[in-house]
Structure 1
Amino acid sequence: MIKINCNALGISPALFTATMLTIPCNSTAQHTLSGGFWANYQYLPDDEANKNSWGEIGSEALILYLDGAADEADGRWLYSAEVRAGRGSFTDPDNNSSGDQWGVHKAWVGWQLSPQHQIKVGKSQVPFGWKSINFWPGDMLLGGYGDQMDVGAKLEGDFTGWRYDAALYLADDWGTTSTDTMDDNGHWGSSDTYRKVQTWVGNIEYSLTAQHTIGASVQAGKLQDLTGNPERPVDGSHKAAVLYYQGTMGNWYLNASLVSTQRDLPTEYAQIQTPPLPDEIENQRYGLELGYTRGNWNWYLDTTAAKPDTQGSDADTVTALAPGFKYDYGPGWVYVEYLTQDGFIDRNGMIGEGDFEALYVTLDFYL
């Protein structure tokens, strides 16, 4: 990690170059440039080619972080950005704004309204429920409502035990057709079907004690048709709500959530499918995370379930289970995780059935 203090260097507002990056300096501001890398070993017991190879090492990614903030006496601005490159970037070249194996995971500029309240503009995390601690299994059957990064504006703050977020996101990624939310991809259409737009999000949390928090989040927005109409009509909609709990008890922690989702797909897109898609897609999602920490070790169990409420759906309730642990070895983490599931969430938010198992071992480091 490189910390740049322009005042200490005796540089007036100018450009300071570090590791081939040019960073504007302010005489009293702190700028941090850092980077990281991760790669993943994957073993698929139901894939003969993978088994014959004794698994596969890949999904490599190089990550760059840029963070900064003004000193309290001289400004209220702050910023944060993360850029990833490589096949392990969790980006989708067919549906992202770069058209390649790299993407901007987040990039926002903020303004500190007061010590407890700030506003962020750019690509930031959607404030909806909690985010799972595991690395490779991801959000599993919470897909579409997990670790999302959308583009818009967000107000956040806290006061006397309460925390709130209020946001408006114009789209889920940069550009006019991208549907790339990075870590939680593949659940909101595609660049030639539809995308999520004009989404309002609200979140409120209350700390019952220092160890126990309850919360609720809601979101509602539109779906834009990308099937070929040059006007790209916005005639679909979506909405969702979640109730959740987060708690710690000594070395133990527990997170739980109940999510209700509804999606009305753009008319033309739904009708040209064979067979035509339902007018309204509804389902319930459930998430539970139990963990135990001790020293540099963190053991956890993530489990999710999804129950279809869509008329005509022939899927049963499906489940996913991901036990694992991670170890902090100094500059990064080693993760060992196992995933088994009997269903999935598709790009339309519909539940499908299908078995999948995988063993993941991930190594990362950060400078």
Structure 2
Amino acid sequence: MKHGRIYAAALAATLLSLPVTTTAEEEDGINFGGAVRLNYAWRDYDDQNKDRGGDFELELFRINARGTIGEVILDAEWRRYNDFQAIHHAWVGYEFSEQTHVELGITQVPFGILPFASHSFWFSGAYYMGFEDDYDTGVKVVRKSGDWTFHTAFFKNPEYANDSRADRYSFDLVTGGDQQNTETNQVNFRAARLLTHEADRTTELGLSLQAGQIYNQTTEDNGDRWAVAAHLNGNYGPWNLQLQGMSYAFNPENPVGVSDDFVQYGAFGFPFLMAAKGEVWTANVARAFTVDWGPITGLNCYNNLTYIDPRVDNSAESVQNVTGCAVSAGGVYAYFDWIAGRNMWFAGGDGIGLDGGSAGKWRSRFNINIGYYF
């Protein structure tokens, strides 16, 4: 690619199959694709894994369908992981004009830096809190006006109406035990302005608002939740800079004896507790390289840092840092990541924001994900 920022965007889109709109000039029909991914992981907090020298296994098989019939757009993705299967997204859409389109179904929640507030296979810490690459069921309108892009959306519930199901891709409130809170009736508004400095140098500034209800199945009462974020996403030649700050709060109507300080989230088959209120700070930098190393044509190297500051009693800060590179070679894309976390779920922690036994310990893992995308 001519410019590093264009390569980085194309790489991210190909790796994670972003929803795209289809113009009226394109032929009718549905195109099918997919991916097969293998994953190697070495974890310093897993003695048996270390004794084996890590583990290498099939991580994912997925099928994508995308295209148009008439003037109606379809975009869907199904995934099979080792232990479960899940819908990633599935929506139908319509373009009213080049400036306005609508998506109905399981579609990406418009919040913060889009499409991702990260560069690594591991995403940022906000992903595990449901604030990055989250997909819910509802309707979304995207409107472009000059340098501005506006997202307005309403989501009735998460991608699954089965609130106890932790076998899902997106992180949502899940029920289990005395945790009986579910997400419902969510509204989102996002406004972003793209400032163009030169042909390959741009800065996007944006503000995101999110609000919804929390229904407790035990008390049969509705609580509330909200989140607000401001972001900067800058592309400067081969460099990309992402900065984001957000504040959030969950206010459930729990029964007597159940703390309001923590809520239960879940995905990938595992539920965990997360601080119900807090602030999340993200700082990411990446540089793209165009190379000619045999089949390897591009690199994107990065460092992604997330700091989570809980605002509830009996809590402790959570930190996640990912350093790595993504490598492209034809249809093969591979991530080489070193993930370090303190009190961070999925990096050796017990949850997010918990003041538990692992709160003060840094844990890390070396991860290689190799995918063939077709």
**Interval of TM-score (by shorter of Structure 1 and Structure 2):** 0.7 to 0.9
Question: 2:224 maps to which residue?
Answer: 237
* CA contact 2:227–2:247 (8 Å) conserved in 1: yes
Aligned positions of 1:190-339 closer than 5 A? 190=175, 193-209=180-196, 211-227=202-218, 233-268=220-255, 271-273=256-258, 276-278=259-261, 281-295=276-290, 296-310=298-312, 312-315=313-316, 317-339=317-339
Structure 2 CA distance for aligned equivalents of residues 351 and 159 of structure 1: 43
Structure 1 CA distance for aligned equivalents of residues 322 and 169 of structure 2: 17
Q: TM-score, structure 1 length as denominator?
A: 0.79
What one-letter code is carried by the residue in structure 2 that aligns with 1:292? R
> Over alpha carbons, which structure has the higher Rg?
1
Structure 2 CA distance for aligned equivalents of residues 147 and 256 of structure 1: 16
Partner secondary structure for residue 145 of structure 1 = coil
Which structure has more relative contact order (CA 8 Å, sep 6+)? It is: 2
Note the alpha carbon deviations across 1:61-89, whole angstroms, 9 max, x for none.
1100000124xxxx4310100000122xx
Note the alpha carbon deviations across 1:20-46, whole angstroms, 9 max, x for none.
xxxxxxx95132011211121110122
Aligned positions of 1:3-14 closer than 5 A? none
Structure 2 CA distance for aligned equivalents of residues 297 and 326 of structure 1: 6
Question: 1:189 maps to which residue?
Answer: 174
* CA RMSD in angstroms, aligned pairs only: 2.5
In the alignment of these two chains, the number of paired residues is 314
Structure 1 CA distance for aligned equivalents of residues 208 and 221 of structure 2: 24
Question: 1:357 maps to which residue?
Answer: 364
Q: TM-score, structure 2 length as denominator?
A: 0.77
Structure 2 CA distance for aligned equivalents of residues 30 and 40 of structure 1: 33
Structure 1 CA distance for aligned equivalents of residues 76 and 167 of structure 2: 15
What one-letter code is carried by the residue in structure 1 that aligns with 2:156? L
What one-letter code is carried by the residue in structure 2 that aligns with 1:219? Q
Taking only the aligned residue pairs, the percentage that are identical comes to 19
Structure 2 CA distance for aligned equivalents of residues 125 and 349 of structure 1: 23
Larger mean CA deviation between 56-65 and 190-199 belongs to 190-199
Structure 1 CA distance for aligned equivalents of residues 122 and 28 of structure 2: 38
Note the alpha carbon deviations across 1:280-317, whole angstroms, 9 max, x for none.
9320100111000011010011000011222x2342x3
What one-letter code is carried by the residue in structure 2 that aligns with 1:103? A
* CA contact 1:138–1:184 (8 Å) conserved in 2: no
Is 2:114 the counterpart of 1:132?
no
Question: 2:77 maps to which residue?
Answer: 82
Check 1:33–1:191 CA distance in 2 against 1; reply closer, same or farther (3 A cut).
farther
* CA contact 1:188–1:348 (8 Å) conserved in 2: no
Note the alpha carbon deviations across 1:241-298, whole angstroms, 9 max, x for none.
0000000111111011001001102322xx343xx33399320100111000011010
Partner secondary structure for residue 277 of structure 1 = coil
Structure 1 CA distance for aligned equivalents of residues 350 and 43 of structure 2: 23
**Structure 2: segments with no counterpart, 5+ residues:** 1-25, 263-274, 291-297
Structure 2 CA distance for aligned equivalents of residues 43 and 33 of structure 1: 34
Note the alpha carbon deviations across 1:171-191, whole angstroms, 9 max, x for none.
112224256694443x52336
Question: 1:343 maps to which residue?
Answer: 343
* CA contact 2:343–2:353 (8 Å) conserved in 1: no
Structure 1 CA distance for aligned equivalents of residues 45 and 122 of structure 2: 17
Partner secondary structure for residue 50 of structure 2 = helix
Structure 2 CA distance for aligned equivalents of residues 200 and 284 of structure 1: 20
Structure 2 CA distance for aligned equivalents of residues 190 and 293 of structure 1: 42
Check 1:180–1:151 CA distance in 2 against 1; reply closer, same or farther (3 A cut).
farther
Structure 1 CA distance for aligned equivalents of residues 183 and 244 of structure 2: 23
Structure 2 CA distance for aligned equivalents of residues 181 and 261 of structure 1: 24
* CA contact 1:173–1:180 (8 Å) conserved in 2: no
